[in-house]
Structure 1
Amino acid sequence: MTVTSSERTLLDSIDAQEIVSLTTSLIDAGGENPGDTEEATAKVLAEHCRALGFDVRTVEVAPGRPNVFVSIGSAERPGVLFVGHSDVVPAGTGWTTDPFSAVVRDGRIVGRGACDMKGGLAAVVAAMAAVHRAGLADEHPMTLACLVDEEDTGLGIRAFVAESEQRNYTCCVVAEPTDLVTIVGCRGAANIEVEVRGRSAHAGQPRNGANAISAAARIIGIIEGSQAELDANPDPDLGPATWNVGTIAGGTGTSMVADRCVLAVDRRLLPGESAAGVVGDLRSRIESAELTGSGIDVDITISMEMPGFLTSVNHGLVTTAVQSVIDARFIPNGRSAGSTPAPNGRFAGSTPAEFTDIWTASCDGGFVAQQMGIDTVVLGPGEIENQAHRPDESLAVQQLTDSARAYALIATRIAALPGL
């Protein structure tokens, strides 16, 4: 796609220092989760966007935990939805700086949440500001949904997709860290708890009891058998669904038959799968193995579910996102986009797949795609595998600027696509 003179002006209006300033302010506001502390981050974002003249709405999902919605342009026209989150994982130990006092060094911003995902939020706001200043907002509306609790149980996204009154959106870009590679799909995830209750007895006469740990071990075997079936039937794009037994806890003493054992299990979901369906299948397998009865009972509960999604690499949103990243990164710098290396180091070919990937992580985008019916990609600054959730988490300033430019191009180009 040829970059027009008006697009060049739009790109040139994006100020890296403004993005850095907002990113550092958002980092300094904290927001560790678990901890229910997103309110300060939400306040910084809301006040900054109000000062820019944007429409800002806050919705308290739980006490002190507000979702923030920032919009520009007419609510009568469909626009691009950008999704992010205000919470960060706990700082932990091993930092060489104060994790909640951001510093800029060697062209990178260092602080908890720089990569995941305070930088992404700031880049979206910068793109919105550029579109707003250029007088293009009414023609190309944009909304940022900054949601709470993404790192834990998803309270924010669940409240958002359940809202009865929504703006009309053409598509969704989740601004999570992807190293500026367009992510077209990811598996969903479910946290499942399997509680096995048995009957205690003296270890000298174990047959007088019913050992919950032994029954739980057999359930683990059932899960492993299910995994073998999943491995044999992978999704052609996302690979197989997976099980992982993360923790096991049970028993009260060596000389006692265990009367309780609990398994905490992760189940990655393919698009179209539900946690309820997975649990139903597991219950059927346990019943078929005749594990229950004779003093053994099993309860299975779902503590968290996040759906997956998959968007075709040939979809207009994907091709637009890919080209916008290329133009944002290389055209303004005077380079040719004809044989430019893709953001992940691969070289451009003749298909969008050269610039796209599948995620092993999960994100709020699955809710948007599944429950709102909106085509979705994940695209943002930062490297999730090498920077997110680590001590001295950091993000390159240049990627912040490139992301803001790409977001502005996506927002202004998407309306021209047929069917969107």
Structure 2
Amino acid sequence: MGRNTVGAAIDAAVKNEQLLAACQKVVQIESLTGEEAAVAQFVADQMRLQQFDKVDIDIHGNVIGTLFGDGTGPSVMVNGHIDHVPVGAMQNPFSGEIVDSSRWGEEGTAIFGRGSCDMKCNVIAAVHAVGALKRAGLKPGGDVIVVADVEEETDSPNGVKSVIREGLRADFGISVESTRGQVYLGHRGKLEFEVRFIGRTSHASEPSNGVNAIYLATRFIDRIQYYARSLQQDDLLGPATVAVTGMHSFPDNGTAVVPDLLTLRVDRRYVRDETPAGCQAEIEDMLRTTNPEGQGSEWTVELINHYPLMYTPKDSPVARAAIVAAEDVDGQAPKISAWRFGVNGTFMNEAGIPTIGLGPGDEKWAHTPEEHVGTRDITEATRKIARAVLAVTRGGELA
């Protein structure tokens, strides 16, 4: 079966009305982090309707659906999460309404609601992409495993990390986080540090008797803004960055006390020429410079969260398959880019599963009051994901 014949068979098997109805429904099911049971059941039911060969929900609530291959090629894991962030100021966040996209300067229509592009509609697109292969009679060369995981928004270990820890593996991976239907090769790494400044309490009427921990931090905060301007730029992943994202002093109970402790949360995004250890060393050097009289007792640094850098080369079989798939749908080569935020595909990459990104929606709308995903984008991404899955399990060609 030739490339154009395969693409036509996939497109004929994508049931667009059912696909968009399922996307509307999944947005209407509230699924805050830790409260995903109802949406997990819906996704599992969708997998069964799409004729997956095996569907399970594990102890943490992750949904794992498998379409068995014929054993002639590599396997692929397709991943997306089913939790979403709080709604904030968003109006009618669970409407799942199809609206005119012109309100955002876009063409066509879109599904509106919290979790639409981040990323429950993306998960449904992946499920229906696999279903299209089954209906078209296109047997993949290796198993196709769709993992719809929980608690991604809080970097919990209970999602795809636990699935991998329990032994699930594949030869290649595709994250369906929003890429605007283009091919993403990864993202910067994220390090979160807790920096503690330690002073000495005194009565606020006698501040000179104490050491104000807030004042110990001010020179470091000034220095970190200067440091931010010196960080390097990665041609693919974007700029290395640093930001203070939280600050809290103690005691803070309203009494007249000079605080003896201040904690800062520092977010450091690193790129391919950097290492986590090197980034921490730079933070520590700034602390020594801005607190020259300290001997390590006036401040401490602790790495409290690490979201690893993700990068898969463009010549990887899974990247080549995604490029072939996107070009077959769009009629032109896709843009090769990277996410600005982190995705769970990084843990697949870390486990030795080369992973790329291919999904509907624009990441700039994630976590905003205007979150939405275009209906045409959903349909085209479904067609692309199906092609990419077939291509990578058949040795990189769409045939």
TM bin (shorter chain) = 0.7 to 0.9
- Aligned pair 1:178/2:188, yes or no? no
- Aligned pair 1:360/2:340, yes or no? yes
Partner of residue 79 from structure 1, selected from 66, 72, 75: 75
Partner of residue 144 from structure 1, selected from 132, 142, 146: 146
Q: Which residue of 2 aligns with 1:105?
A: 99
Structure 1: give runs of 5+ residues left out of the alignment.
330-336, 341-347, 349-353
Q: How does 1:106-145 map to 2 (within 5 A)?
A: 106=100, 107-137=109-139, 139-145=141-147
Give the Cα–Cα distance (whole angstroms) in 1 for the partners of residues 99 and 242 of structure 2: 41
Give the letter for the 1:377 counterpart.
Answer: I
Q: Which residue of 2 aligns with 1:166?
A: 168
Q: Which residue of 1 aligns with 2:233?
A: 234
Give the letter for the 2:377 counterpart.
Answer: Q
Paired residues of 1:88 and 1:112 also in contact (CA < 8 A) = yes
Paired residues of 2:237 and 2:337 also in contact (CA < 8 A) = no
Give the Cα–Cα distance (whole angstroms) in 2 for the partners of residues 88 and 24 of structure 1: 15
Paired residues of 1:38 and 1:86 also in contact (CA < 8 A) = yes
Q: Which residue of 2 aligns with 1:343?
A: none
Instruction: Output one character per residue of 1:1-24: Cα deviation in whole Å (capped at 9) or x when no partner.
Output: x73323311221101112112212
Paired residues of 1:292 and 1:298 also in contact (CA < 8 A) = no
Give the Cα–Cα distance (whole angstroms) in 1 for the partners of residues 338 and 10 of structure 2: 30
Partner of residue 93 from structure 1, selected from 70, 84, 89: 89
Paired residues of 1:141 and 1:411 also in contact (CA < 8 A) = no
State the percentage of identical aligned residues: 28
Q: Which residue of 2 aligns with 1:411?
A: 389
Q: Which residue of 1 aligns with 2:38?
A: 40
Structure 2: give runs of 5+ residues left out of the alignment.
101-108
Give the Cα–Cα distance (whole angstroms) in 2 for the partners of residues 74 and 290 of structure 1: 61
Q: Which residue of 2 aligns with 1:187?
A: 188
Paired residues of 1:200 and 1:258 also in contact (CA < 8 A) = yes
SS in 1 for 2:57: strand
SS in 2 for 1:374: coil
Give the Cα–Cα distance (whole angstroms) in 2 for the partners of residues 291 and 254 of structure 1: 30
Give the Cα–Cα distance (whole angstroms) in 2 for the partners of residues 124 and 196 of structure 1: 47
Instruction: Output one character per residue of 1:292-313: Cα deviation in whole Å (capped at 9) or x when no partner.
Output: 7589633333333211222233
Change (3 A) 1:292 1:70: farther
Give the Cα–Cα distance (whole angstroms) in 2 for the partners of residues 367 and 299 of structure 1: 28
Per the TM alignment, residue 124 of structure 1 is displaced from its structure 2 partner at its CA by: 0.6
CA RMSD between the two structures: 2.8
Q: Which residue of 1 aligns with 2:50?
A: 52
Per the TM alignment, residue 158 of structure 1 is displaced from its structure 2 partner at its CA by: 2.4
Change (3 A) 1:296 1:199: farther
SS in 1 for 2:363: coil
Give the letter for the 2:387 counterpart.
Answer: L
Change (3 A) 1:234 1:115: closer
Instruction: Output one character per residue of 1:45-64: Cα deviation in whole Å (capped at 9) or x when no partner.
Output: 11221343321122223xxx
Q: Which range moves more in the overlay, 133-142 or 405-414?
A: 133-142
Paired residues of 1:18 and 1:126 also in contact (CA < 8 A) = no
Give the Cα–Cα distance (whole angstroms) in 2 for the partners of residues 302 and 321 of structure 1: 35
Paired residues of 2:244 and 2:265 also in contact (CA < 8 A) = yes
- Aligned pair 1:303/2:282, yes or no? no
Give the letter for the 1:10 counterpart.
Answer: I
Q: Which residue of 1 aligns with 2:244?
A: 245
Change (3 A) 1:294 1:379: closer
Per the TM alignment, residue 323 of structure 1 is displaced from its structure 2 partner at its CA by: 2.9
Q: Which residue of 2 aligns with 1:332?
A: none
Q: Which residue of 1 aligns with 2:106?
A: none
Paired residues of 1:24 and 1:102 also in contact (CA < 8 A) = yes
Paired residues of 2:321 and 2:396 also in contact (CA < 8 A) = no
Q: Which residue of 2 aligns with 1:26?
A: 26
Q: How does 1:282-301 map to 2 (within 5 A)?
A: 282-283=283-284, 285-287=286-288, 290=291, 293=294, 297-301=298-302
Give the Cα–Cα distance (whole angstroms) in 2 for the partners of residues 52 and 185 of structure 1: 29
Per the TM alignment, residue 85 of structure 1 is displaced from its structure 2 partner at its CA by: 0.0
Instruction: Output one character per residue of 1:268-316: Cα deviation in whole Å (capped at 9) or x when no partner.
Output: 1224756565335533543465557589633333333211222233444
Q: Which range moves more in the overlay, 48-57 or 73-82?
A: 73-82
Paired residues of 2:141 and 2:394 also in contact (CA < 8 A) = no
Give the letter for the 1:122 counterpart.
Answer: I
Q: Which residue of 2 aligns with 1:16?
A: 16
Paired residues of 1:306 and 1:362 also in contact (CA < 8 A) = yes
How does the TM-score come out when normalised to structure 1?
Answer: 0.82
Give the letter for the 2:42 counterpart.
Answer: V
Give the letter for the 1:360 counterpart.
Answer: R
Q: How does 1:292-331 map to 2 (within 5 A)?
A: 293=294, 297-329=298-330
- Aligned pair 1:381/2:360, yes or no? yes
Q: Which residue of 1 aligns with 2:103?
A: none
Per the TM alignment, residue 226 of structure 1 is displaced from its structure 2 partner at its CA by: 4.2
Change (3 A) 1:94 1:259: same
Instruction: Output one character per residue of 1:237-274: Cα deviation in whole Å (capped at 9) or x when no partner.
Output: 32442110122222546964321212122111224756
SS in 1 for 2:21: helix
